[in-house]
Structure 1
Amino acid sequence: MFPEISHVAHSIELGNMIEPVCNVLDNWECLKRNHKVYAFLASGLTPTWKNCISEAISASSTDNYPEESIQNTLEPRDRTENRLLYWSSKGESDPSVPETLGYQLISKLCLVTEIHVQPFQAYFQHGFPIYSAKAVRFRMGHPRYPMELESLVADDMAANRMLGDSQFIWTYTSPEFPMFQENRLQKFKLPDPVLSIGGVLLVELLGRVQKQEMDELFYICISHVQVVGQPLSPAFDIKIHHPSGKCTLKYFPQTDWCVPSTSSPTIESNNPSRLRSLMQSGVRRWEQIILGALLGSGSVAVDD
């Protein structure tokens, strides 16, 4: 269903007890347990799509900190009474030099469908230039080593540090999308919904198109970044096994979480023969059923 979950270890933790995911089809109790967990996983998404960004982690460079900090890209407005709100890179003579913006998502498990980026237009400069990138690419993943993302936010906000493969394991990388040199919120829809595991988003800004008149250097400036998705219920969490990058899905059924009945899976679980038929119908069939539940495509018929 989601290639990015290939790093998930074959175990599910219920409460404080870890049990293996059973692959033996005649182990009925194991199948019922797994069905229940995955059904709750499918129904555990929030009922509405929302902006899933929680915090800004780091920018690869910042021209004037904190006035042009990455923190400004979290604001829904373009300006306050006193100043404009945008992030600006440092200037470069080479237009091919990339930049990155790193963000923490509101949950370690989010279903992401699209990402929005708005370039900044400098109305205070001659000709009102727009400092867009030539293209954009997105990565999602988790820290490679045990660390608190909150400490990364505190340490890296002013450090102009590029988040790379030495620090993070990227479970998803998008194709490159062209960015237009236009002052509008540009919407980049991912080819397929992505299950973000680990809660880290990297925005890669590839190539520069606008030179600043006063110093003849190329810059990239961004006003807004938004991630459209659905965070998973607090009943689910991910434990990363370092340094392998494998992870365990943790499920806490006692967590208080209300899911509208319309988003619940419509598979009958009180009929053993029907559920056994579902479990034996193959991984691909099961993936399609869960994907349908995740995306709200309605009920799925299962042949007896």
Structure 2
Amino acid sequence: MEIRMDFLNWLDHETSMKILGCLQDPPDLVRVSSVSRSWRHFVIANGLCKQLCLRMFPHFRRVYCVIEPTCGIEKALEVGRSKFVEWETLKREHKAYAFLAQGCLLFPFKECILDAISASSTDDYPVESIRNTLLQGDHSEGRPSYWSSKGQHDIAVPETLVYKLAADICVITEINIQPFQAYFQRDSPIYSAISVRFCMGHPKCPMGDPLGEPLDDTADDKFIWTYSSPEFPMAQENSLQNFKLPEPVVCIGGILQIELLGRVQRQEVDGLFYIWFVQPTFFQQSYFGVDIYHAAPPA
């Protein structure tokens, strides 16, 4: 008769953790938790799905607690008051982080811009509004379609563009930007920035829908930025330029800001430096249907 044994009952806790910690695919841990009651208890009690998710996407460390739609924040904050409540919390986290890890890997790559929120400046509103960057191509209704900043004497003055993404949780992998070539001006100049940087975060206060008209405003007083990318150099080319992030970044809160740093092209008519561009595209994998609460933990 074949001899079978459960290694979780024979090995010490640390060794068992090292073995199961070698699993790199979220479905594998879900399958492990379905083997038996003891295995399910081990996976949930040790938060293995949560640990794997945080290894894959460290930005989820900013999540304070997991709340089911059927329970309120007050109930979720009772963690630790009893063993039953603690176990229920561990089960919620097991389920939520398993779905998050798998969801962020499975959804197909696609563009994820929902709407434009604000630009730090606009030269000729609404003709050169940030909303033009939501359109495909550099023409709309027979005329040029692009966003333009206000002109500046100082080439170091930056500009920022803020967008609402299609979900509260998006995994951003790369961003494409196309500077605009003013073919209607002499020598067809290209109004690129010197470099670009990307910030991701969430609103300080809930945002209503629809978003309304984009504003000419700085966004630092309205949003909390939880990620800032390295600075990428931009080419003076009328082409869709690809900026691949060093690693997939989880944007929790669905807000992305483009920082355009430095100016290259001076406009002949007024001698000022401008930045113009056509459209950004944010490529991502996203997990929809998650409620995000941005609240400080209790003291």
- Counting only pairs closer than 5 Å after superposition, residues 266-285 of structure 1 correspond to structure 2 as none
> 1:221 aligned to 2:281?
no
Secondary structure of 2:66 counterpart: strand
1:188 to 1:54, Cα distance in 2 relative to 1, 3 A = same
Aligned to 1:180: 235
- Counting only pairs closer than 5 Å after superposition, residues 23-42 of structure 1 correspond to structure 2 as 31-42=90-101
Root mean square deviation of aligned Cα = 2.2
Q: What is the CA–CA distance in structure 2 between the aligned matches of 1:33 and 1:123, rounded to whole Å?
A: 57
The answer as to whether partners of 1:137 and 1:205 remain within 8 angstroms in 2 is: yes
Aligned to 1:162: 218
- The structural deviation recorded for 1:15 is 1.9
- The structural deviation recorded for 1:150 is 3.8
Pairing partner for 1:55 from 115, 118, 121? 115
Aligned to 1:97: 157
Q: Deviations over 1:267-290 (max 9, x none)?
A: xxxxxxxxxxxxxxxxxxxxxxxx
Aligned to 2:15: none
Q: What is the CA–CA distance in structure 2 between the aligned matches of 1:120 and 1:228, rounded to whole Å?
A: 21
- The structural deviation recorded for 1:5 is 3.0
> 1:4 aligned to 2:4?
no
Q: Deviations over 1:162-215 (max 9, x none)?
A: 111x22111100010000000011110011100001111110000000000111
The answer as to whether partners of 1:5 and 1:171 remain within 8 angstroms in 2 is: no
- The structural deviation recorded for 1:28 is 6.7
- Counting only pairs closer than 5 Å after superposition, residues 1-304 of structure 1 correspond to structure 2 as 1=55, 2-9=57-64, 11-17=65-71, 18-19=75-76, 31-45=90-104, 47-144=107-204, 146-148=205-207, 150=209, 153-154=211-212, 157=214, 159-164=215-220, 166-234=221-289, 236-241=290-295, 244=296
Question: Higher strand proportion, which one?
Answer: 1
- The structural deviation recorded for 1:29 is 6.4
Secondary structure of 2:284 counterpart: strand
Q: Deviations over 1:80-135 (max 9, x none)?
A: 24211100001101111000000000111001101111100000000010000000
1:29 to 1:160, Cα distance in 2 relative to 1, 3 A = closer
Task: Determine which structure has more spread, i.e. the larger CA radius of gyration.
Answer: 2
- Normalising by the residue count of structure 2, what TM-score does the alignment of the two structures yield? 0.73
Q: AA paired with 2:219? A: L
For these two proteins, the number of residue pairs brought into alignment is 234
The answer as to whether partners of 2:107 and 2:286 remain within 8 angstroms in 1 is: no
Q: Structure 2 unaligned segments of length 5 or more: list them.
A: 1-54
Deviates more, 1:184-193 or 1:30-39: 30-39
Secondary structure of 1:141 counterpart: strand
Q: AA paired with 1:16? A: T
The answer as to whether partners of 1:96 and 1:208 remain within 8 angstroms in 2 is: yes
Q: AA paired with 1:107? A: A
Q: AA paired with 2:197? A: R
The answer as to whether partners of 2:169 and 2:253 remain within 8 angstroms in 1 is: yes
Secondary structure of 2:98 counterpart: helix
- The structural deviation recorded for 1:12 is 1.1
Secondary structure of 2:224 counterpart: strand
Q: What is the CA–CA distance in structure 1 between the aligned matches of 2:254 and 2:107, rounded to whole Å?
A: 19
Q: What is the CA–CA distance in structure 2 between the aligned matches of 1:150 and 1:88, rounded to whole Å?
A: 26
Secondary structure of 1:237 counterpart: coil
Percent identity, aligned pairs only, is 51
Q: Deviations over 1:38-65 (max 9, x none)?
A: 1112223463111111000010000111
Q: AA paired with 2:98? A: A
The answer as to whether partners of 1:134 and 1:179 remain within 8 angstroms in 2 is: yes
The answer as to whether partners of 1:115 and 1:227 remain within 8 angstroms in 2 is: yes
The answer as to whether partners of 1:109 and 1:237 remain within 8 angstroms in 2 is: no
